[in-house]
């Protein structure tokens, strides 16, 4: 079985620790890093632990066994699915300064046939934990990041050999560069330049037009455009949480979605005035239908664009972390129906601690966030507050 070289894994760990987490200026010596790493990613364990130790931080390594999720869902009662260990969750959030999550799936279809409502119930039980985490993040006391370790199962799902799959990871994360951390800083500066320009333009509406999309949505005056900031590795997108009360049109997603151990294909969404009036998938539609039943999960909470020139991802990877950042010929557009971003609020973020205030400005508190993606050709027209219209994105590229 192919395993990347020690040099590549050490560079990867260095990117996660010294770019993705150290991007935040408030970090200090002896911070606590909580790492969740699956059994399938065992060769990455030591490089990550070493990078954290060399940064003078404390690592807490949670090693996750493969192939145990199905047993839980098959045997758990409703009470066990909904159980919330509040004292443990509070201690965990209070104890850690940073979090690294490594995605490494040994079986992408492990949960095939599991009742989708069981998975939704489990997801909703994590809401309080996410709220605590988000509050600490808003206070600049916590940072998190995600990366991916390629496995045979993931490569097979993407139609690649494991070495070819890893070549995509290596290229996308600039691990073939002599100094990947410096390269990431340069890429992030360009993405942030685009983000800043979009914020300067004071946009009122976004209109996406293409063979698979005709979608118009409003951007609030109190919303910001944001960029990845190392929260995902890789991340090339520029995104915002729009005013979901003013969304009209349709979107067909030509990229499959892997979620809860299942493949959902050819998702079609239609909005009228502000509400999701139609959602359908050619494959595993029952899971999609269970997802949109959850409170707040039938509105559009994110809009994102990726410039094809900055992304090195050239192949479908069967994992949203990469697929939502694909470059290809036309870049990508993706939206999320299920959770807005606190960082996209332009006002006093301390007010977001109040759930009623958060509801009043339509930044929802759903426990889940799932992206659906289109890579079809499209152009994006922006209407500014003075009602002038400009073409800002075409053929996979920002024109600013």
How does pLDDT run across 330-376, given as a tens digit for each residue? 999 999 987 788 889 888 888 888 888 888 888 766 667 889 999 99
The ranges assigned to domains in the chain are 6-177, 183-398
Tens of pLDDT, residue by residue over 248-293, are: 999 999 998 887 767 899 999 999 988 889 999 999 999 899 888 8
User: Contact, 301 vs 340, CB < 8 A?
Assistant: yes
Residue 196 confidence (pLDDT): 94
Residue 225 confidence (pLDDT): 93
Q: What is the pTM of this model?
A: 0.91
Determine how many CB atoms are found less than 10 A away from the CB of residue 203: 22
Return the DSSP state at 65: P
Q: Which residues of 261-288 are buried (b: 16+ CB within 10 A; e: fewer)?
A: bbbbeebbbbbeebebeebebeebbebb
Report how far apart, in Å, the C-alpha atoms of 12 and of each of 41, 50, 196, 267 are: 13, 12, 28, 33
Residue 219 confidence (pLDDT): 87
pLDDT cut 70: percent of the chain above it: 98
* Distance between CA atoms of residues 307 and 380, nearest Å: 12
Residue 363 confidence (pLDDT): 78
Return the DSSP state at 205: E
Please choose, from the candidates 261, 271, 263, 267, the residue with its C-alpha nearest in 3D space to the C-alpha of residue 280: 267
Residue 260 confidence (pLDDT): 72
- Ranges of residues in the chain with a pLDDT under 50 are none
Burial class (CB in 10 A: 0-12, 13-18, 19+), 68: exposed
Please choose, from the candidates 81, 90, 94, the residue with its C-alpha nearest in 3D space to the C-alpha of residue 120: 81
Determine how many CB atoms are found less than 10 A away from the CB of residue 139: 12
* Distance between CA atoms of residues 322 and 236, nearest Å: 10
Structure-block tokens of residue 242? 């729009």
Range list of β-strands (E), 48-175: 58-64, 98-103, 143-148
Q: 6-177 domain in CATH 3.30.450.20?
A: no
Structure-block tokens of residue 256? 């499959």
Write out the H or E segment, with its range, that includes residue 116: helix 116-124
Residue 337 confidence (pLDDT): 83
Strand ranges of the sheet holding 32-38, from the earlier edge strand across to the other edge = 58-64, 32-38, 98-103, 143-148
* Distance between CA atoms of residues 318 and 256, nearest Å: 8
Residue 258 confidence (pLDDT): 80
């Amino acid at each position: 079985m192919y395993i990347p070289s020690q040099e590549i894994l050490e560079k990867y760990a260095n990117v996660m620790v010294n770019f993705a987490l150290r991007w935040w200026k408030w970090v200090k010596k002896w911070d606590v890093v909580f790492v969740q790493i699956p059994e399938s990613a065992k060769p990455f364990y030591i490089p990550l632990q070493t990078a954290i130790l060399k940064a003078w931080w404390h690592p807490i390594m949670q090693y996750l066994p493969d192939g145990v999720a199905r047993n839980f869902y098959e045997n758990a009662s409703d009470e066990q699915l909904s159980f919330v260990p509040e004292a443990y969750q509070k201690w965990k959030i209070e104890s850690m300064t940073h979090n690294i999550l490594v995605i490494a799936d040994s079986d992408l279809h492990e949960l095939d046939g599991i009742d989708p409502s069981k998975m939704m119930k489990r997801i909703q039980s994590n809401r309080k934990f996410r709220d605590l985490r988000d509050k600490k993040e808003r206070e600049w006391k916590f940072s998190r990041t995600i990366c991916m370790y390629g496995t045979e199962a993931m490569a097979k799902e993407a139609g690649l050999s494991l070495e070819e799959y890893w070549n995509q990871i290596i290229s996308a994360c600039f691990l073939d560069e002599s100094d990947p951390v410096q390269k990431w800083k340069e890429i992030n500066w360009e993405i942030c330049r685009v983000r800043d320009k979009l914020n300067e333009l004071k946009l009122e509406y976004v209109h996406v037009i293409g063979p698979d999309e005709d979608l118009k949505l409003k951007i609030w005056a109190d919303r910001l455009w944001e960029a990845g900031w190392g929260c995902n590795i890789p991340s090339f997108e520029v995104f915002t949480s729009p005013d979901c009360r003013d969304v009209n049109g349709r979107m067909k997603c030509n990229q499959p979605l892997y979620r809860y151990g299942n493949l959902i294909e050819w998702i079609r969404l239609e909005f009228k005035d502000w509400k999701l009036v139609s959602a359908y998938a050619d494959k595993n539609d029952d899971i999609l239908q269970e997802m949109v039943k959850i409170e707040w999960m039938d509105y559009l909470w994110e809009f994102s664009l990726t410039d094809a020139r900055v992304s090195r991802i050239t192949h479908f990877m069967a994992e949203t972390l990469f697929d939502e950042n694909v470059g290809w010929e036309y870049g990508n557009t993706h939206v999320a129906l299920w959770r807005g971003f606190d960082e996209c609020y332009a006002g006093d973020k301390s007010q977001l601690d109040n759930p009623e205030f958060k509801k009043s400005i339509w930044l929802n508190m759903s426990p889940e966030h799932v992206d659906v993606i289109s890579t079809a050709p499209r152009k994006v027209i922006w209407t500014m507050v003075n009602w002038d219209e400009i073409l800002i994105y075409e053929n996979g590229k920002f024109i600013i």
